[in-house]
Amino acid sequence: MTHELPGRVVVLAGGLSHERDVSLRSGRRVAEALRGVGVETEERDVDADLVPALLKDRPDCVFPLLHGETGEDGALREVLRLLDIPYVGSGPTASRVAFDKPVAKAVAHRAGLLTPPSVTLPHATFREIGAAVMMDALLARLGVPLVVKPTRGGSALGCSVVRRPDDLPGAMVGCFSYGPVALVEQFVTGTEVAVPVVDTGSGPRALPPVEIRPDGGVYDYAARYTAGSTEFVVPAKLDDEVAAACARAAVTAHEALGLRDISRSDLIVDEDGQVWFLEVNVAPGMTETSLVPLSVQAAGLDLGELCAELLAVAKT
């Protein structure tokens, strides 16, 4: 380990989002890893008692592991900044930008990354203009297959792959049940790859890419968090040149979005070896089936030591 161990650390997990259970599992995993390298670690949920507790017994640092809106939209990080408590991860503004998938796609595209053609539709617009007319226009513009997902959220909740026009209405309903705005984008066929990026003080670097092979063909919530339902290949079976392009894309997204400490970019490598940027996560999962710990292990790193190094360079 290249940095001194941090003092007392609070790992924040839970919250009230749809991804509460995943967050709690991530929190337990990181807390155990930190304790394994000698870091005094307390796990806390996010509730009305949180701020008084942090002010009464100020930790040296906080490791936020809340997933979904409450943990990734920048609000919690704004609170920690107000309290002047260092924390791991991106700042409030960068988190807000990255959490909004269409905005993050636009930033990544301006930075030179390929992004699938897409349309963003609020539920109110979809309803007022006429659902049938809008779906016909979407199909005429983007064709099939399509991916429909909420613009804000994670863990693939509310996300559907539409392979036939008749499946689009159900996909839109499912999406709007998790958020008021839908992102409808062309489905890029290829190899799904996730690339974590970490920065422990020497600049952002990509960790080994993780290739995702879900049994059902779609990396949905069940495929992500049910042990054995998805095969992960680490490092991904990619040509060296393509693997390097994936690493560059992840670092480019991290830097273009102004992220810090840790992120994970989700990419697709098409049959021509082109790398497509899908989205980025500023609070990636750390559960037993999550991608970052798999990549950390493949890099020959210890998860506890890496988390401790991230804590050592944390800022407000």
Residues annotated as catalytic (active site), given as ranges: 19, 155, 225, 264, 266, 279, 281, 285
| 307, burial (CB in 10 Å: exposed 0-12, middle 13-18, buried 19+) | buried
What does the buried/exposed string (b/e) look like for 182-194 if buried means 16 or more CB atoms within 10 Å of the residue's CB?
bbbbbbbebbbbb
CA 273/CA 277 separation, integer angstroms: 13
DSSP element (H, E) containing 178: none
Question: Which of 157, 148, 199, 9 lies closest to 69, judged by CA?
Answer: 157
Q: Where would I find the beta strands (DSSP E) of the chain?
A: 9-12, 41-44, 61-64, 118-122, 146-150, 160-162, 181-186, 191-198, 205-206, 210-214, 230-233, 262-269, 275-281
Collapsing DSSP to helix, strand or coil, 161 comes out as strand
Collapsing DSSP to helix, strand or coil, 169 comes out as helix
Backbone angles phi and psi of 150, in degrees to 5:
-65, 145
